Amino acid sequence: MLKPILALAAFAALPAIAQTAAPSPADPAPADWKAIPDNEMLVMTLQGGHQVFIRLAPRYAPAHVANIRKLAEAHWWDGTSVYRVQDNYVTQWGGGDDKTTLPPGVIENPPAEYEWPGFDAVRSFAFAKPDSYAAKTGLSADGWPLANYGATSALAHCYSMVGVARDLAPSTGSGAELYTVIGHAPRPLDRNIAIVGRIVEGMQWLSSLPRGTAQLGVYAKDQTPTPILSVRLASQLPADERPHFQYRATDNPRFAAWIKARENRDGAFFTVPMGGVDLCNALPAVRRAP
């Protein structure tokens, strides 16, 4: 009979085996791990003490991230809730009906930071197969998933990416209401919404919540939204409470080898290697600083 550890799962164990057994060209060098700055890490604490850690992307959405920093500094999210969980789509939290007055300095309708000229993906690798949405895809040197649409590029709506909920255009959303992707990547949202970051730890506290039963996964009156106790930048926390995360740099031959390995999964489990992988199945690792 099948053992539950091995059944289906054997392939997932391979990277761990590879790392603990023989060294691989896909293993990161110690210097490939780079610190995420304290003011680029948002820490959300939910009822029960569960924590969600969001790496921010100020380079790609500066005005929205500036808003988010102001909201955190004003403790604005404290006492709001997670009020929408739509299966195979998004979990959404923040203001909504809980709280409607923004703190001073927050721009209600920032510029539409949805796409920008050029494509700053690293050149040390290119995906072997095409993307179903973009002209090409890649990763920034510091690990962000990028989709290029010809003259412009955008962050891609992969699992665990965080975006800014908005009303109909020309609304862009202030950042007071955020969401994360909890299902198959809804890439048609690329270029239609501002992405501001990625959840790098604690994703399960948002992906495993009860689904909302009202329209579009909003919690119905008989459902209890999950209270948000606090949201802080790591830089606001006392030094001994700050989390320390590192991203894996992608601009090196070791990461290019890792992509090749993702494209050609083998080992004892895979009967047929695919010869390709899509962007959202190739997000670089983020870890706690050792």
Residue 88 CB, shortest distance to its own copies, in Å, is: 5
Q: Which of 32, 173 has the CB closer to its own copies?
A: 173
Dmax (CA) of the chain: 63
Residue 135 has which token pair?
Answer: 């002209």
Alpha-carbon gap, residue 261 to 132, rounded angstroms: 21
Instruction: Give the residue among 162, 157, 146 at the shortest CA–CA distance from 68.
Output: 162
CB of 273 to its own copies, least distance (A): 8
Task: For residues 86 and 91, give the distance between their C-alpha atoms in angstroms, rounded to a whole number.
Answer: 6
Per-residue x/- mask for its own copies, residues 121 to 160, rule CB under 8 A? Answer: ------x-xxxxx------------------------xxx
From the list 53-61, 65-73, 163-171, 251-259, the region that binds its own copies by CB under 8 A is 163-171
To the nearest 5 percent, what fractions of the chain are helix, strand and coil? 20, 25, 55
Query: Least distance to its own copies from the beta carbon of 7, Å?
Result: 4
Residues 52-111 close enough to bind its own copies by CB under 8 A: 83-90, 92, 95-97, 100-102, 108
**Amino acid, res. 275:** G
Nearest to 161 by CA among 57, 287, 50, 36: 57
Nearer to its own copies, 32 or 278 (CB): 278
216 lines the binding site for its own copies (CB under 8 A): yes
DSSP SS3 for 156: coil
> Which token pair is 51?
């924590």
Nearer to its own copies, 79 or 210 (CB): 210
Least distance from its own copies to the Cβ atom of residue 216, Å: 4
Binders of its own copies among 165-194, rule CB under 8 A? 165-169, 171, 173-174, 176-177, 179, 182-193
- Using CB under 8 A, count the residues that bind its own copies: 90
